[in-house]
A and B are shown apart, each in its own frame.
Chain A
Amino acid sequence: MSSGIAVEKLHIAVVGPNGEPHDIVQDVSFNVAPGEVLALIGESGSGKTTIALALMGYTRAGCHIRSGSIKVGDVDVTALNTDALVALRGRKIAYVAQSAAAAFNPAHRLIDQVIETSVVSGTSRAVATKRAHRLFTDLALPDPERLGQRYPHEVSGGQLQRAIAAMALMTEPDVIIFDEPTTALDVTTQVEVLHAFRNAVRNHGTTAVYVSHDLAVVAQMADRIAVLRRGSLQEIGRTDVLLRAPSSAYTKGLLNAYMAAAPTDTQRGASPPERNSLLELQEVDAHYGGVRGVPALRDITMSLDAGTMLGVVGESGSGKSTLARVLTGVLPTARGTIRLDGKALAGSLEARSKDELRRIQLVTQSADTALNPAHSVRSILARPMVFYHGLSTSAANEHVPALLERVKLDPDLADRQPGQLSGGQKQRVNLARALAAEPAVLICDEVTAALDTVVGLAITDLLKDLQRSSGIAIIFISHDFRTVERVADEIAVMYAGQIVQLSKAAALNDPLCHPYTELLASSIPTLRTDWLDQLARDNLADDAADGRIADRRRGCSFYGRCDLAQPGHCDVAVPPLERNANGGLIRCVLNEQDFLRSQSVSSLSQKECRHG
């Protein structure tokens, strides 16, 4: 039932401001055999989504297919009129979008949205519902019979992403297009979703096109990979061959950037000798919505030395960004003390002195919203100097070129508006603004999350340089375990507002890790194509969380998802942060023997995969 795809000399053009057409996809040809999974990979702007959408005969506003042909089965998509395209889309070709949260209508139940295309094309409701339930089961969604009765906001992000895949599979399409379907998910969730997708595609024998920027994810999904850059095809080949022996220079570059992002022991500098701790947190709690509001941070105790980099990792909602807000004083502490250079800081912003504020600077995640679009780069960078150091505006302006050079930007950029900068440039300006204050502690909250691999790598290298050259202490917050492991000297792993592990970055390779650290580490895809198969996923987060819900205020916060959890032991008291044999601090009641024994059984294969 499945049909192949043949794309022949495809050109897609966008009409420029002066009416001249300009090709954004040039001379792209490829074939996908029936039942095969092809990955389109490339950085943002490489045209991968544009091509994927063109397979459905769709181009975004302002673009058009200039020449070439796209055949799905026997049908030439480029030759179809609107009515024929409507009949094609959703029935023969289905599309899974990046953000399921945005793709579902929050006002309708899941089941009604999932079966909609089927019902519209004439299937009875009962038959369609039955089929939906079967798909939910195939996609490993919990409680398939009743899940459909929920509204989109009542299920988790990973479940929603699987539900949208079910929606796409409903009409038994010949071809399914996945457009970065796991990019918005946490690593632990990503694993489950990938697993479900791959099984579904295999079982149904569907031809699939998988769009992604992540080589490791693609390695798990695709039979073949097509590498794109600036709208033209760099190389196409079987997944294992391409990953082992890439032929184009660009693919080699991508693979190298990827390898650099993976940790190697030689890259991690020798940890500096013990110094006086610069920043100290003692039993800090914080709440959203007043003292009796939602607890967001619980019992945070840690310290940071001058000139070191502390990595903070965890899934979304684990309290990483809240920690940044508390340190800067935007969110007042509810309990505990924060000391800077031995001197206690006030819990709230207003009570801190200007100099205390100056010494802790924040760089936020999204460079797009971090810079005021109404100001020039010059005035953005000059302001902290005027504000903190009392310089006149003209004197501050004179320092701007030097500051731009410090973050390796062309001083000529000073007169631009943020809207005229690229994502990487914006993030550098964002960083330069924080440096303008001459801080002692720099908090980087997900600074590479919105950037391509290569650009993100350059930013983390820059941070590393700054740390070494100027002795700034850096708190590097990220959900990307791999990056943190590479750049940080010490790592704090956060879960549900608590630090569950605090240790030297090197110690993460030891078997003596918190179970949650293990889960995070084993969830990161590697370039090995058999990684997903080898990963024993008996601890799927959603299912576990559905089964055993612990009273979080009493027991260990990770109890519900823990492989090693012991009822009657772990769910009774909050475990303290205790030092283990390697000098790391771990919040787990299990003693070291238990750890070693269980890990030798359950996680040894995961370890090998990660470092393979």
Chain B
Amino acid sequence: MSAVSISEPRRHRRLPLSAWVGLTIAGLWACVALLAPYAAPHDPGKILDQGPFALSSSTALLGTDYLGRDVLSRVIFGARFTFGLALLAALAASATGAALGIAAAVGRRWFDGIMSRTADGFISIPHLTFALIMVAAFGSSLPVLLALLATSYIPGAYRIARASAINVNATDFVQIARARGEGTFYLVFREILPNIVAPIVTDFGLRFIFAILLMSSLSFLGLGVQPPDADWGALTRENIEGIYTASLSVIVPAAAIGTLTISINMAIDGFFAPAASEVV
């Protein structure tokens, strides 16, 4: 008999330290993104007097970029794009993917067939290639970026949700609800969804990280967020010359991408990995 994985009611247990560190860093970046206008010492577009690639000083804590703008302020405003856009895209991808995945598991076989083959088709296209084609076709704007990030990750989220939902769908309580005559909507949202929240949320965290990385890559290629706005990927790109003068303007946005993705990863691992104390 195959084991059906149904998440047990969550017991209260202590989160490991790594999860707390991850949560704190990710939370800090979220606050920075939200409070950018108050947190930034300068207007991100204002050119300061220090000149380009200036080193750290009291007016510009992290120095200036290739046009002499304040690096700290630009990184703080860049958080809005990187964090916000990736979060929205991951939310859209996970929600759509989960809804379609559960519907495929519950629904008719032909619906499942069409959905799954379409998803397979999308998964076989490398994400960056897909993004490049989309940008080439529609140009680069925030709505296009959001749409392409979301569609890139829907198939993966769909796969995870469908696989989890199929297990739950085979259990007796779903069969009984079905025999009672319940509609698809009830089956999906009341019977199945509460039992597969854990894998879906974990998957969402991973999609979030992938979205940050894909968007940063696009912006680094100059195809993402367009000047004068800049996300962290674009900041790294536009200040690439500074690498020869040891300017902080390259390393800071790159480090920001690193800290955010790693901290989210640590938080997810801590939440959903079995606690060490449970394995004796």
Are the C-beta atoms of A349 and B179 separated by less than 8 Å?
yes
A468 within 8 A of partner (CB): no
Q: A71 vs B244: C-alpha distance in the bound complex, in angstroms?
A: 77
Contact with A along B9-27 (1 / 0, CB 8 A): 1000000000000000000
* CB within 8 Å of B: which A376-421 residues: 383-384, 387-388, 417, 419
14 CB contacts below 8 A, A to B, read: A330-B179, A349-B178, A349-B179, A352-B181, A354-B181, A364-B175, A369-B4, A369-B173, A372-B191, A373-B9, A373-B195, A375-B190, A387-B181, A433-B176
Option from B171, B172, B179 in Cβ contact (under 8 Å) with A329:
B179
Are the C-beta atoms of B175 and A375 separated by less than 8 Å?
no
Q: Report the count of interface residues on B (CB-CB < 8 A).
A: 22
Option from A375, A384, A419 in Cβ contact (under 8 Å) with B8:
A419
Q: A519 vs B4: C-alpha distance in the bound complex, in angstroms?
A: 35
B182 within 8 A of partner (CB): yes
B273 within 8 A of partner (CB): no
Contact with B along A525-556 (1 / 0, CB 8 A): 00000000000000000000000000000000
| Most chain A C-beta atoms within 10 Å of own C-beta, residue among B6, B7, B181, B194 | B181
Are the C-beta atoms of B6 and A364 separated by less than 8 Å?
no
Q: A366 vs B6: C-alpha distance in the bound complex, in angstroms?
A: 14
A370 within 8 A of partner (CB): yes
Q: How far is the CB of B234 from chain A (nearest CB, A)?
A: 43
Option from A62, A102, A364 in Cβ contact (under 8 Å) with B172:
A364
B280 within 8 A of partner (CB): yes
Are the C-beta atoms of B181 and A362 separated by less than 8 Å?
no
Q: How far is the CB of A286 from chain B (nearest CB, A)?
A: 15
Q: A362 vs B176: C-alpha distance in the bound complex, in angstroms?
A: 7
Are the C-beta atoms of B171 and A369 separated by less than 8 Å?
yes
Q: A375 vs B179: C-alpha distance in the bound complex, in angstroms?
A: 18
* CB within 8 Å of A: which B140-188 residues: 171-173, 175-176, 178-182
A357 within 8 A of partner (CB): yes
Contact with B along A335-378 (1 / 0, CB 8 A): 00000000000000100101001100010111001111111000
- Contacts A375-B194, A419-B8; A370 near B182 (Cβ below 8 A): no
Are the C-beta atoms of A330 and B172 separated by less than 8 Å?
no
Q: Given the complex, which residues of B lie within 8 Å of A417, measured CB to CB? A: 9
A61 within 8 A of partner (CB): yes
Q: A61 vs B279: C-alpha distance in the bound complex, in angstroms?
A: 8
Are the C-beta atoms of B179 and A372 separated by less than 8 Å?
no
Q: A364 vs B170: C-alpha distance in the bound complex, in angstroms?
A: 13
Are the C-beta atoms of B180 and A387 separated by less than 8 Å?
yes
Q: Given the complex, which residues of B lie within 8 Å of A371, measured CB to CB? A: 173
Which 10 pairs show the lowest CB-CB distances between chains A and B?
Answer: A374-B194, A370-B172, A357-B181, A328-B179, A364-B172, A369-B172, A372-B173, A369-B171, A61-B280, A62-B280
Q: How far is the CB of B220 from chain A (nearest CB, A)?
A: 43
